Copies of this chain bind each other. A is one copy, B any other.
Amino acid sequence: MVKITIVKTGYIATTTLIDALLDERASRKNISVRVISSGCKMNEGEAADIGNIAAQVPTDLYVIISPNAGLPGPSRVREILKVTGKPIIIISDEPSRKIAKQLGEEEGVGYLVLYGDPMIGAKRPFLDPIEMALFNADAIRVLSVTGVFRLIHSELDRVIDEIEHDKEPVLPMMIVNKTRALEHSGLRNPYARAKAMAAFEAARKVATLDVEGCFKIKGASNYLPIVAAAHELMRTAARLCDQAREIEKANDSVERLVHFKDGTLKRKTKLLGKFE
């Protein structure tokens, strides 16, 4: 049994379901998951505190997930957990690409930098809990259909398997761009794939607009239209992904990769068919 401790500080959309991706039916015998989180906050104090809790939890593999892994809070978590000597994988969003090289080459830390998990439009007159939740629902859909979630759990599954079999785990060091993501999407119809890729890139544009609206533009009457546009684009990206999956359904070609009790993944496509 491999013990995985997931440390969450601050929120990206992947934060919502990262642990669930590993054991979607709670039936896997070869892993035990713990999550320690500071919720939305990710300043250094909050982060250090959960880092310290996590460091006490018996663990074979740490996964740290946060926005921009280069910020002080997530960096602090990483420093604390590095002391344990356990393997660490960072999962974060596009701004983390700036420290990716450092993480991998210098720190020996694995990373998955997710380009399709966009910053939210975090301006007070616009973002309330409901708008926030809807944005995350849209982002989850995009991450699901474009292959990002599949890629994440596949990489984690591989590392877990290596640990379980006492191999030296090869930590993933990957920028998850549109090409790498789509390879894991399982989409077979080329137009469904094109729609998903379009959604992925639209999601990146969402991030660009939200950064502009949140940090570069002054005055609510100027930034509100921009963050609102970002969220409309996010909704649209989610709908494109929905269309892509509906095409696969219409062709009965939805790929499923399911965790069995021993942690192996088996594949099937036809809904009423068998696992390969």
Contacts and interface: CB of A to CB of B under 8 A. Distances in A.
A218 interface: no
A178 to B, nearest CB: 8
A82 interface: no
A83 interface: no
- Taken together, the copies of this chain in the complex come to 6
A258 B127 contact: yes
A143 B134 contact: no
Interface stretch (A28-36, A93-101, A159-167): A28-36
A107 interface: no
A140 B149 contact: no
Interface string A131-144: 11110111011011
A84 interface: no
A22 B129 CA distance: 7
A103 interface: no
A138 to B, nearest CB: 8
Contacts of A192: 250
B228 A190 contact: yes
Nearest to A265: B128
Contacts of A275: 125
Contacts of A19: 37, 39-40
Interface in A151-199: 153, 178, 182, 186, 189-195, 197-198
A102 interface: no
A191 B256 contact: no
Interface string A7-39: 010110000110111111111000011111111
A80 interface: no
A247 interface: yes
Nearest to A235: B242
Interface in A105-154: 122, 124-134, 136-138, 140-141, 143-145, 149-150, 153
A186 to B, nearest CB: 8
Contacts of A125: 256, 258, 268, 275
A272 B39 contact: no
9 contacts: A11-B20, A11-B26, A16-B16, A19-B37, A21-B133, A26-B41, A191-B252, A195-B229, A220-B272
